Structure formats: C-alpha cells, structure tokens
Chains A and B, each alone.
Chain A
Amino acid sequence: MAEVLVYVDHVDGAVRKPTLELLTLARRIGDPVAVHLGPNAEEAAKVLAEHGAVKVLAADAPEFAEYLVAPKVDALQAAYDAVSPAAVLLPSSAEGKEIGARLAVRIGSGIITDAVDLESGDEGPVATQSVFAASYTTKSRVSKGTPVITVKPNSAAPEAAPAAGTVEQLAVTVADSSKGTKVVSRTPRESTGRPELTEAAIVVSGGRGVNGAENFPVIEALADSLGAAVGASRAAVDAGWYPHTNQVGQTGKSVSPQLYIAAGISGAIQHRAGMQTSKTIVAINKDAEAPIFDLVDYGVVGDLFDVVPALTDEVKTRKG
C-alpha cells in the first residue's frame, strides 16, 4: 500500500492528540509514516506505533528551535524525497499550515487546509471542509502533485492500530536560506491544568456578559465541574478579562467539541466561525433575541450569574 506522511505535533516527545487523529485518517488512504522533528523520538514512537505508524522518520537539529518554520520544511522535504508518499498530512495549526504551504510550493503540489474529514477517492484523497463560518460543507481534492492536507483537531476519533513504528534516522541539511527568521527568545505558556482548548471534549466559554475578569471564575468553576476547557469571545479577550490564547472564533481557536456551552455570548458570525461545528451547543444569555439561540440544541434565557452557578452545583451533586 502507498505510504502517507504524517507530520507529528509534539512537545518534547509528548505527542499531541491531533497527530493521533491524523494517523487514523491516514490509514484510510495508505500506510502512515510519521515524521518526528525534535527530541525524544523513541518515546514518541511508542504512541505513534500504537496508532498505526509503520515507520517513524526522526530528525533532531538545533535549527528547528532556533529559526522559524523553514528548517522544518527542509526536513519534511527530506522525508518526502525518501518516501515518495501518496499524501502529506499535517495538523491545522498556524505552524502546520505554514510548513505544509511551503512544502507544497517546493514539490509543485496543491494544498487543502482545515479539512474536517478525509476519505480515499478514485483520483486521490477527498477532503471535507466546513467553510463560510460552517454554513457550507465542501469536498475538494488536490489535482496537481502530491496532496498536502492540513486537518483540524477533533476531526476523527483516534483509533488504536498497532504497527511496527520502527524509528529511522532522517538525514536533514538545513539550507542557509532557511535560517532567515531567528527565534530570539521563547516564553512557554503556563499550563492551567485544564484540557487543551482545541482538543477538549467539552468547552465552556464566556463573553462580554461575564462583565469583568473577576467574574471569570464563575465560568472556570463550571468548566472544572465538567472537566472542560475554558474559552472566551473576542469581546472578553479585548477587554483584558481572559488571555487571547483562549479566544474562540475566526481569529482565535477553532473548536469542535462534543459539547460547547456559551455564556454571555451573542453569537456574532466571527465567533460562530470557530465553534459552529461543535456537536451539541448550549447557550445561556439574558437576551432571548441573541443570534446564538439560532444554533443551540438547548438554550436558557436568563442571567448567567444565576444559571451558571446553579448548573455547576447540580453537576457536582450528580457527579457525587
């Protein structure tokens, strides 16, 4: 069977969930070959093998951390040359898209971004995209070259499929022209202990209705009772009530959890663009006319400061 390159997103060898989803989708179109750039490939390989990677191509070079994006493109291109894959899959992060785009130019291929599903077709893999703030579903394919496709988190449930996952070293030469953008310093984000926003099964978001940073603990308490991630609208972020990394929407994170709870959020098109593919949508808003109610499976018209704490208590009681 044809091989499919899967770009591994990891933090020091801890593979992130979207990569396991990519491996699951890759198996529909061929044999997944994972490309691990950076440290701790051996550790990552165990998880990658459990999820179907027949091989892990590994390379570590200081340039991956010292310069932005381009050295990783050199490495992925080396993997491409070594394997001649049927497709290249990457996660739809800002970096994943940029790496994919530059590789596409180098290998003369088309690129599809933000796929939410992938299936094999007569003329190559067919990608499903959810576009125009999820008001349309499109099906597309790459018609020139080897398909380069980036896939959104939560697009597939990771499946176990044990494979060899043999680690092979990949020889990479980083071109001088790839050392153009220096990473002068890097400040890692502090972990909140809550699930990663894009990967979470449940997301609880607060908007302008939360009315102040000092009130966000009301949202956090509900999130914690449900084991959920916390999101925020841009209005809440711009007001400085919550970090930008938690923004959901067109210019924030795009989420597609099993359950999305919006409290004090009106449902502007740019917010909807980031959450409309959620499986179940719930809103709490005191304005019965708020556009968010057009999307909901369940809505409560009411003051969030009454409804949210009551819900939190009820969740805690039921969970014992």
Chain B
Amino acid sequence: MSLRIVVCVKYVPDATGDRHFAEDLTVDRDDVDGLLSELDEYAVEQALQIKEAADDAEITVLTVGPEDANDALRKALSMGADKAVHVEDDDLHGTDALGTSLVLAKAIEKTGYDLVVCGMASTDGTMGVLPALLAERLNVPQVTQLSEVSVADGKVTGRRDGDTASEQLEAALPAVVSVTDQSGEARYPSFKGIMAAKKKPVESLDLDDLGIDADEVGLEGAWTKVEDAAERPARTAGTIVKDEGEGGKQLAEFLAGQKFI
C-alpha cells in the first residue's frame, strides 16, 4: 500500500528583507518578498528521501496562506513533491497558532495521510509548536525535532538532540514528524523539476471545504491578541577601534569599565 506523506510548508517574508508589521499588527506581506520558509526545505528533503527509500509513496505539500503562498508550493513541487493542497480564504487573515493547527489538521485529514512532515519552526513566527499542536489534534504520536529520520515497516524512527541528552525515538504510523536543519542539506530543484512542477496538480480548499467556521480563525477568532508592535530603536553606534597591537588591551579596558572584569 502506498505511503501517504503530507509535508506542511509555510510561506514567509524573506528574513533578509526589511520585515514590518501592518496597521492591524499582522505581518506586512506587501513590503517584503515571500518565499518557502527555509527550514521547510529540510522537511521536503526528508520526505523525498523517505519516499525514495519506500516501495511506493506519494508526497503532498500543504500550505495555509494567501494567494502568493502558491510560490512556496511550486518550490516544493519543483524539488520533487507529487501534488499540492493550498488552503486559502480571506477569513484566514491574522490566524494564530491554534487556528493554523486547526486548519492544517482538517486539511491533513481530508487529504489522507500516514506521515506528516514539518519543519522545526517557521522563520517568521518561529514558535516551533505547530508539529506538537498537529499531533495533539490528530491524536497521533509526535516524533519531533529530529536531526535524523527514517521510515520502515510502518514505523518512524529518529534522533532528537536535546539540551541535556540525545534521544533515539520510535513510533508507529500514522505520526507527525518535524526535522531540524541538521537533518541534511535540501536539494536544489533541477530544471526538469521546475518544468515538471508546472504540470503538477494544486488543489485549492477554503474554510467551507474543511467545515471550519470563519469565527474560529482569523484575527477575530484568534486565541491570542497582539496589542502593540514597536520597531526596536536602532542601537546607538558603538565604539569601533582598529587593532594596531593594542586592540586586546583596549577591549579589556572597555570590559573593565563595564564591570565585566
């Protein structure tokens, strides 16, 4: 039987751009280019490797995001995913983590899955909670923050490198996995991959299709409220000296003045 893999990919503002908040205190998406969250490339890569090791597997990439989020799906498809699902609805604007997990969980159930693969965190919200939220909502094991992952005989195994220990984990499918950037460099899409991606199917779903009420998501339905967002004042220019033999001493002088020595 075919192994059904769903990879969750997020469309985010480019971290190297000048990111801002819009007036309603959501992320301003007009000012900065968007792209597939770089950490989700690792998730796509691991899904591709799991597929390559399996007899028969199919990869669906899934995103919840505005129209432009289609770019993130195309990137994942050009890396080698088979098909895509895009959940898009004007009422989703401003959805928080709890809401996003609700929408993703419904879309995953609708698509059908044996394995869900996520990145360790998005590069904008950087909460690192979506995989655990999904496991809770789908009522399946979470095998998260893996720097190594493999799937065989209906089981997923992996290594989680934590603060105080490194753990070897194991769970039966279906399960939710998240992978870190230690899991292995993501491949670049080939020209052939980019051409093939144009023909791959992208299914579009809205809240009605998923049976979700508009008041459970969006800014109004959010479980959290941002009350203020202030740009951090630029750091006042520090002292910069050129080392002409005395740099170490001068630095020590500064540190002593600040009472660090």
Within 8 Å by CB of A310, from B147, B163, B182, B247, lies: B247
B235 touches A295 (CB 8 A): yes
- Looking at chain B's contact residues, the main secondary structure is mixed
B240 proximal to A (CB < 8 A): yes
B60 proximal to A (CB < 8 A): no
Within 8 Å by CB of B168, from A73, A109, A183, A282, lies: A183
State the 4 A-B residue pairs at the shortest beta-carbon distance, nearest first. Answer: A310-B248, A302-B243, A110-B223, A180-B141
| Distance A310 CA – B248 CA, assembled complex (angstroms) | 5
- Looking at chain A's contact residues, the main secondary structure is mixed
A105-B98, A138-B228, A143-B223 in contact; A296/B251 too (CB < 8 A)? no
A132-163 CB mask vs B (1 if < 8 Å, else 0) is 11111111111111000000000000000000
B142 touches A69 (CB 8 A): yes
B22-35 CB mask vs A (1 if < 8 Å, else 0) is 00010000000000
Give A residues with C-beta under 8 Å from B: 11, 68-70, 73, 93-95, 97-102, 104-106, 109-114, 126, 130-145, 177, 180-189, 202, 226, 244-245, 250-251, 258-259, 269-270, 273, 280-282, 284, 288, 293-303, 306-315, 318-319
Within 8 Å by CB of B229, from A138, A185, A293, lies: A138
B182 touches A244 (CB 8 A): yes
A68-B169, A140-B226 in contact; A97/B239 too (CB < 8 A)? no
Residues of B within 8 A of A112 (CB): 224
Among A226, A300, A308, the most chain B Cβ lie within 10 Å of the Cβ of A300
B165-178 CB mask vs A (1 if < 8 Å, else 0) is 11111111001000
B198 proximal to A (CB < 8 A): no
Residues of A within 8 A of B19 (CB): 132, 135-136
Query: What's the nearest-Cβ distance from chain B to residue A296, in Å?
Result: 4
Within 8 Å by CB of A105, from B96, B137, B250, lies: B137
Stretch at the interface among B3-11, B46-54, B62-70, B125-133: B125-133
Q: List 14 A-B contacts (CB under 8 A).
A: A102-B133, A104-B98, A104-B133, A105-B133, A110-B223, A133-B15, A139-B226, A143-B222, A181-B175, A269-B16, A284-B251, A300-B243, A310-B248, A314-B252
| Distance A142 CA – B254 CA, assembled complex (angstroms) | 42
Query: What's the nearest-Cβ distance from chain A to residue B121, in Å?
Result: 8
Query: What's the nearest-Cβ distance from chain B to residue A111, in Å?
Result: 6
Query: What's the nearest-Cβ distance from chain B to residue A36, in Å?
Result: 16
Question: Which chain A residue lies CB-closest to B227?
Answer: A139
A298 touches B165 (CB 8 A): no
| Distance A164 CA – B141 CA, assembled complex (angstroms) | 38
B127 touches A114 (CB 8 A): yes
| Distance A109 CA – B98 CA, assembled complex (angstroms) | 8
B255 proximal to A (CB < 8 A): yes
Question: Which chain B residue lies CB-closest to A142?
Answer: B224
A101 touches B97 (CB 8 A): yes
Residues of A within 8 A of B137 (CB): 105
Residues of B within 8 A of A297 (CB): 235, 238-239
Residues of B within 8 A of A102 (CB): 132-133, 135-136
| Distance A52 CA – B158 CA, assembled complex (angstroms) | 39
